[in-house]
Structure 1
Amino acid sequence: MQDSRTRLVKAVSASVGSFALFGVVTGLIPNPLYVRMVPRTELDYLFLLLTAGFLGLYTFQRAPGESDDDTAVGTSAVIGFLAFGCPVCNAFLLALFSNSALMTYFDPLRPLLGAVSVVLFGGLLYVRSRRTCEQCVDSEAMGSTLD
């Protein structure tokens, strides 16, 4: 009981913390430190909410010491961040491409990046839940044979 409560607190903390952090650094949550150069859209807020929610769900599913899916989660989170972040304000993208190239070619692709991030997160969580359910069934079967 205590273990599931602790996992739930960690998951909610990860979700709320990532929402706040990503929201502030992308300017979706208005703040005096950062001014967003690209107008905010409903899709930006949707992808921010979904990315934060998926990070919380992953944190809830993840067992302590487990790290086999961390690369997939990191990739999905970065793609999600690119989907709702301001392309002109991203120093890494701006160093690689010009401002006009980002607005012409990258900005229209942001909804597609968001959809890819959601599919990756959803697939990962589905596979993890199936794996967890199979482990539960196997452990229950082992427990009943020992009785």
Structure 2
Amino acid sequence: MASTYYTALKGIAFSIGAFLLFGIVTGLIPNPFYVRMVPRTPADYLFLTTTSLFVGAFIIQREMADEPIGGRTATGGVIGGFLAFGCPICNAVLLTLFSSSALMTYFDPLRPVLGVVSIPLFAALLYHQHQRNCPTC
């Protein structure tokens, strides 16, 4: 029982940590270190919250699984979620690859689509991992 309790606490800690880290570096949580260049929207907060919750749920399931799966899929879901709520012209990697005008013209309208794709991706991963590791399912 202590192991399950520890695993749950670890998952909650990862969720909170991901929420704070991603929220601060994307400017969704106002802070003096980072200024967001695009407006904050309710969808941004939705994608931040769901991505953070999925990170914690994945950690819990991974810790409880005999044979953990889906590490690369989870990484893709986190990246997709991060790009969905992150400021496109503040992302140094994207800005290095593309111009700010291209990001605002072509990438910014696609950010909600990334969020809508990353949420089911993560949900499917969690479901598949649960089905694979649940002896009574």
TM-score, normalized by the shorter chain, greater than 0.5: yes
What does residue 87 of structure 1 align with? 88
Q: How many residues align?
A: 136
Which 4+ stretches in 1 moved above 4 angstroms? Answer: 64-67
Distance in 1, matches of 2:116 and 2:20, equals 21
Distance in 1, matches of 2:63 and 2:102, equals 42
What does residue 16 of structure 1 align with? 16
Question: In angstroms, what is the RMSD of aligned CA positions?
Answer: 1.5
The 5 Å alignment of 1:17-36 reads: 17-36=17-36
What does residue 38 of structure 2 align with? 38
Instruction: Note the residue ranges of structure 2 that are not aligned, 5 or more in a row.
Output: none
1:47 and 2:47 correspond: yes
Q: Would the alpha carbon gap of residues 110 and 67 (structure 1) be closer, same or farther in structure 2, given more than 3 Å must change?
A: same
**How far is the alpha carbon of 1:68 from its aligned partner?**
3.0
**How far is the alpha carbon of 1:27 from its aligned partner?**
0.3
**How far is the alpha carbon of 1:137 from its aligned partner?**
3.8
Q: Please say if residues 69 and 129 of structure 2, whose CA atoms lie closer than 8 Å, have aligned partners that are also in contact.
A: no
Report the secondary structure of 2:56's partner residue.
helix
Identity rate, percent: 54
Which has the greater radius of gyration? 1
**How far is the alpha carbon of 1:103 from its aligned partner?**
0.5
Distance in 2, matches of 1:68 and 1:111, equals 27
The 5 Å alignment of 1:112-123 reads: 112-123=113-124
Instruction: Note the residue ranges of structure 1 that are not aligned, 5 or more in a row.
Output: 139-147
Report the secondary structure of 1:62's partner residue.
helix
Distance in 2, matches of 1:52 and 1:3, equals 22
Q: Deviations over 1:28-58 (max 9, x none)?
A: 0000000000010000000000000000111
Distance in 1, matches of 2:24 and 2:8, equals 24
User: In structure 2, what residue type is equivalent to 1:28?
Assistant: L
Q: Please say if residues 62 and 69 of structure 2, whose CA atoms lie closer than 8 Å, have aligned partners that are also in contact.
A: no
What does residue 102 of structure 2 align with? 101
What does residue 124 of structure 1 align with? 125
Report the secondary structure of 2:44's partner residue.
helix
Report the secondary structure of 2:112's partner residue.
helix
